[in-house]
Amino acid sequence: MSVKAIIPVAGKGLRLRPLTYTQPKPLISVAGKPIISFVIDQLLDIGVEDFVFILGYLGEKIKLHVKENYPELKTTFIFQEDRLGSGHAIWMARETIRSSDEVLICFGDTIIDMNLQKIMEVPLNCIGVKKVDDPRNFGVVEVGKNGKVKAVEEKPKIPRSNLAMVGIYKINRVPAFLTALEKAVASGFEQEQEIHLTDVLSEMINQGSNIKTFEVDNWFDCGQIDVLLDTNATFLDRDGYASFDLPSFYNSRIIHPVSIGENCDISNSIIGPHVTIGDNATIKGAI
């Protein structure tokens, strides 16, 4: 079976400034590991071998990271010069998926905390969801009595449900998806509106496609600074992420767990807990 992953990573990461002035959001480290590497590694674990990256802001840095760290990966890089929404980003990749049996869409700033094999076992198109207290800042799913998706809506003022879309989608009816994609994009261009992936999914539902939901164990939308910090702390508390075999830093105290990169110059400082420091950093007199 031919499975292709589309990873949109074109956003500017405005909510993470100043971190994103020089680094694209997907390359920001969580517990010493770039966010996008969490996404790629999870997909590799379930056998995905073909990746399409939708690039934009500082996209060359993302491309270089993928090429250097995943040299054997089959990749296609597409630049979304006009960022007109998530639906438009997927439309940019439309020609790459025409021959695919299934397509996984995973946003490159979101870590899904579960075994993604579960989504592959769902026999229909499906949307990853999680119940949230306030769904108004998310795409929202309404499920009918038959268990299938009845409607989707982007950041509604009055939500239909508390099921938020978490940034992972599986399409196993690719021709129907492409038909809906073309119609949604044409409508967006005509009305001069941003084109969301929810617009495409709504069109699929209108055309009679069956879509299911699957609830993820947890997810981290790392495009928000508070979530990014919480995610960093969560993963540093897990096995395999924190640094322990560290050099001696002059007149400094390290409070574990932390992740400290290579060739760092740290002096007269107290570092930690739950701190991530990249390679070649210089830190003096910090608490």
H-helix or E-strand containing 55?
A: strand 50-55
Q: Which of 123, 124, 219, 205 is nearest to 168 (CA)?
A: 219
Distance from C-alpha of 114 to C-alpha of 112, rounded to nearest angstrom? 6
Which residue spans of the chain are classified as CATH 3.90.550.10? 3-226
Q: How many residues does the structure list for the chain?
A: 287
Which residues lie below 8 Å from residue 233, measured CB to CB, with a gap of 6+? 273, 274
Chain centroid offset of residue 234 CA: 17
pTM equals: 0.89
Chain centroid offset of residue 119 CA: 16
Q: Which of 60, 68, 70 is nearest to 5 (CA)?
A: 70
pLDDT digits (tens, 9 = 90+) for 166-178: 999 999 999 999 9
Fold of 3-226: Spore Coat Polysaccharide Biosynthesis Protein SpsA; Chain A (3.90.550)
Which amino acid, one-letter code, is at 273? P
* Residue 282: pLDDT over 90: yes
Determine the angle formed by the axes of helices 35-45 and 59-69, rounding to 10 degrees. Answer: 50
pLDDT digits (tens, 9 = 90+) for 136-157: 888 898 888 788 898 888 888 8
pLDDT digits (tens, 9 = 90+) for 53-91: 999 999 999 999 999 999 999 999 999 988 888 999 999
pLDDT for 6 equals 96
pLDDT for 180 equals 92
Phi, psi of 214, rounded to the nearest 5 degrees = -135, 135
